[in-house]
Chain A
Amino acid sequence: MNINATLLAQTIMFALFVWFCMKFVWPPIMAALEQRKKHIADGLADAERAKHDLELASKRSAELLREAKEKVSEIVASGEKRASEIVETAKTQAKVEGDRIIAGAKAEIDQEVFRAKEQLRTQVSAIALAGASKILGREIDAKAHSDLLDKLVAEIK
């Protein structure tokens, strides 16, 4: 247990080991640790960002859905409006057509009536002529009495 030159040897050895550790051991391991720490931190940050993105995306999709719904109801409303418009126009058209048909029919009826009246008048005038000739006993000259007959016919009308 004497103090001797071992002291110096140990000091030198100590210095060498510290130097070696400082040069070849500590920096690479520490660098790797730092890098891994960074990796993990990056990963966590990425995850956080992805979560945020997801939130935004879901918010956005909800927005889109709402908009789409709004648009759909708008479209439906305008469709309904258009349909009722079409029905309305059809109704008006139908009415016009009906009126036209009715008017046509009325005109035809009037014509018929007129024709019937005409016929009737002719027949009546013939009957009147025949009756008159029978009463007078002679032929009535139709030509000579045409004025009279026309007057009569006009009165019958």
Chain B
Amino acid sequence: MSSEAHTSAEYIKHHLQNLTYGHLQNGTWGIAHTPEEAKAMGFWALNLDTFLMSLLLGTIIMFVFHRAAKSISTGTPSGLQNFCEWAIEFIDTSVRGSFTAKNDMIAPLALTIFFWVFAMNLMDLLPVDYVPMLMHELGVPFFKVVPSTDPNATFGMAIGVFLLVLYYSIKMKGLGGFAGELTLQPFGKWGMPVNLLLEGVNLIAKPISLALRLFGNMYAGEMIFILIALMGGAWAGATLGGATLYGSQILLSLGWAIFHILIVTLQAFIFMTLTVVYMDMAHQEHH
């Protein structure tokens, strides 16, 4: 628990606050020290923790894969190469299963999404207090270590996917074809406004569901970790009740962490699979 946070509410709030860099109200650029300051920065601010963590994790993943790719041999694979080949084959199989058109970008896209999201989610398994405490010692007021609990990260990716969906829809079907798909079904051309409403919702739902599913799962998971941590931390004392709570915190966080390993992987896989499916739909004439 951070020494600044005295009550449970403050503790939770502190843990859920991103490290935001932006235009402060006193007219200078800097880091927001309170959630209110961060909010007041408006749109043109950057969540440094989300940005740096996702950059770091993505870079590590790409570095590892790139190293394997550079030193790849066609003989008997070993170690890192083995892992990367397994990963690539796993992604390739998944993509082949749900993507029927031909596009060389989809598989690398799926690979990037799966491992990047997986790594970002995996940060959830770090003990909730360690990184914020360490950062506090370094003079950094907030640090949210799990980028996928920041809607900016999940929506950022979902928007990327959405742009690709738009791009390939127009590229494959032509602007007219895409517009027709949005307006001429399911009720024919006389039901155009209704069609547009239905298909528009259908289209917009894709990135929103992608982003919110990942964000919601990770946020809720993180929240439960925080609550479990709060249970032991807030009432820790020399009483029997305090000791019980402390013990149950250990057991609960262990249990939740083990369960969370599943969620972490599953959410990464779902994000990847849905992206591939959406891309496949963008490539199809009719759906």
Could you list which residues of chain A lie within 8 angstroms of chain B, going by C-beta atoms?
Answer: 1-11, 13-15, 17-18, 20-22, 24-26, 28-30, 32-33, 35-36, 39
Q: What are the residues of chain A within 8 A of B216 when measuring CB–CB?
A: none
Kindly identify, within residues 45 to 99 of chain B, every residue whose CB is under 8 Å from any CB belonging to chain A.
45-47, 50-51, 54-55, 58, 61-62, 65-66, 68-70, 72-74, 84-85, 88-89, 92
Among residues of B, the one whose C-beta sits closest to the C-beta of A34 is B74
Pairs A–B under 8 Å by Cβ, sample size 30: A1-B151, A2-B38, A2-B39, A2-B41, A3-B43, A4-B20, A4-B22, A4-B47, A4-B152, A5-B44, A5-B45, A6-B18, A7-B159, A11-B160, A11-B163, A13-B51, A13-B58, A14-B156, A17-B61, A18-B108, A18-B109, A18-B112, A18-B160, A21-B109, A21-B111, A22-B104, A22-B105, A25-B69, A30-B92, A36-B74
B50/A10 in contact, CB under 8 A:
yes
B88/A3 in contact, CB under 8 A:
no
B74/A2 in contact, CB under 8 A:
no
Q: How large is the interface on B (under 10, 10 to 19, 20 to 34, 35 or more residues)?
A: 35 or more
B109/A2 in contact, CB under 8 A:
no
A25/B62 in contact, CB under 8 A:
yes
Q: What are the residues of chain A within 8 A of B280 when measuring CB–CB?
A: none
B50/A5 in contact, CB under 8 A:
no
Q: What are the residues of chain A within 8 A of B65 when measuring CB–CB?
A: 21, 25, 29
A21/B72 in contact, CB under 8 A:
no
Distance in Å from the Cβ of A35 to the closest Cβ of chain B?
A: 5
Known: A15-B160, A32-B72. A4 touches B58 (CB 8 A): no
Q: What are the residues of chain A within 8 A of B70 when measuring CB–CB?
A: 28
Distance in Å from the Cβ of A34 to the closest Cβ of chain B?
A: 9
Does residue B139 face the partner (Cβ distance < 8 Å to A)? no
Of B85, B104, B112, the residue contacting A33 (CB under 8 A) is: B85
Q: What are the residues of chain A within 8 A of B109 when measuring CB–CB?
A: 18, 21-22
The 3 closest A-B pairs by CB, nearest first: A10-B156, A6-B152, A22-B108
Known: A9-B46, A17-B112, A22-B105. A3 touches B62 (CB 8 A): no
Additional pairs, 9, CB under 8 Å, beyond known A2-B39, A6-B156, A21-B65: A3-B43, A3-B152, A14-B116, A18-B160, A20-B62, A25-B111, A28-B72, A29-B85, A33-B89
Does residue B268 face the partner (Cβ distance < 8 Å to A)? no
Does residue B118 face the partner (Cβ distance < 8 Å to A)? no
